[in-house]
Amino acid sequence: MVSTAQSRGSTAVSQEQPGGHYGPAGRRFLLVVYGLVVLGIIFVFSSSFPRAGRPLPYHGDPYWFFKTQLKYAGIGLVAMIIISLLPLKTIKRFACLAFLVGLILMAWAAIWGRSVGDARCWIWGMQPSEFARIAYVAVVATLLAQGPINRKNTYRVVLPLILATVLMLVVLMKQHDQGMALLVVLLALTLAYVGGARLRYLVPVGVAMLAAAFVYCSTKPYIVARVEAWLNPLDHIRGAGNHILHMLVAIARGGPFGMGLGMSPDKWKGLPVPHTDSIYCVIASELGLWGAVGLLVVIVMVAVLAFKIARGSNTRLGYFLAAGIGISLTLQALVNIAVATAVVPPTGLTLPFISAGGSSLVSSLIGAGLVLAVARHNQEQAGRR
């Protein structure tokens, strides 16, 4: 599968005229990322100024979240450019170290960190799991670069991949961060399929993991209550069901063309964390159905362009690194949108590049930097032909 994709990608690269530091696909990917970051800054301000303008705890500064998001956007964009300049062999060398550091910080947060909702996942003003997830993708890419998932590579690829996934999930369960755990499971299964695992093996594994998740969640009262509110929001109108209904009402208010920028009334009261988890609802309310669908199309473009960059790579590491990051960012966005539209229960996942929060934005831009590193490598290889 990979060799075919690489041969097709190599043909595509050779047909395109060299140009720019990242090549045509890399430039388009960079433009899409910039556009999402700018859109995020705009809607972080639009969705947050009612809350930030209150006397406490933001001292009545309606621009507090806007300025904070602008600061983290600057930090993240600088990190993205720096990482895009790294050789792939350097990324491979430090992937495991970054993942281990991420796990240690996650464990630290699970024990001594700050709780947000039901999850204890914050420490020193950041959420380590956001960065560990990017490092996890890099580790999986380095493993899959050694060969496809089959019996011959059981000890070299399969078992280390299972170990990395289990370690990530165990710490996330300790943090009570079921949303990120769900994302890691989806990511692991998808990457395993891209890495050559057959569906006849993946389907039973997925079913077993689903059964284990059901048993685990049934023992946690707060998860049961969250699912019940999602299934019957009208029966929980004074609790979590009220939030779900407000999200749906906010989206419905937008109609086809939206109420106009800054005009959504639901962000003033009722809509849960409108600048983070529910920011898609504000976008749908103010830009309407076409704006919400347009954003979804742009998010899918992130994955499409990342896969195009992956197919242009002449190395397995570059292929799986670019494809893995594209899958990770898109899956997270789709889960966030699924929560906003009440397709799945609330998970607490942010919308990449758009939701307020330094950890989410910076980690997403670091992931984009890894994709651009592959694009730059592709362009350099194309220039040597």
What is the predicted pLDDT for the residue at 222? 77
Which of 293, 287, 329, 292 has the alpha carbon at shortest distance from 309?
A: 329
Neighbours of 231 (CB within 10 A): 13
Model confidence over 314-343: pLDDT tens digits?
899 999 999 999 999 999 999 999 999 989
Q: Can you give the pLDDT at residue 216?
A: 79
Greater confidence (243 vs 354) lies with 354
Sign of CA dihedral 221, 223, 226, 231: negative
Cβ proximity of 279 and 43 under 8 Å: yes
Task: State how far the alpha carbon of 290 is from the alpha carbons of 3, 16, 204, 263, 266, in Å.
Answer: 39, 33, 39, 17, 19
Average pLDDT of the chain, as a whole number? 86
Instruction: Please give the pLDDT value at position 20.
Output: 59
CA angle 337, 338, 340 (to 5 degrees): 60
Cβ neighbours for 263, distance < 8 A, ≥ 6 positions apart: 285, 286
CB 87 within 8 A of CB 320: no
- Minimum mean pLDDT among 16-30, 195-209, 371-385: which range? 16-30
Confidence (pLDDT) at 4? 44
* DSSP class of 17: P
Most confident of 32-36, 203-207, 275-279: 32-36
Compute the average pLDDT of residues 213-217: 80
Percent of the chain whose pLDDT exceeds 70: 92
- The β-bridge relationship of strands 119-122 and 114-116 is antiparallel
Q: What is the pTM of this model?
A: 0.89
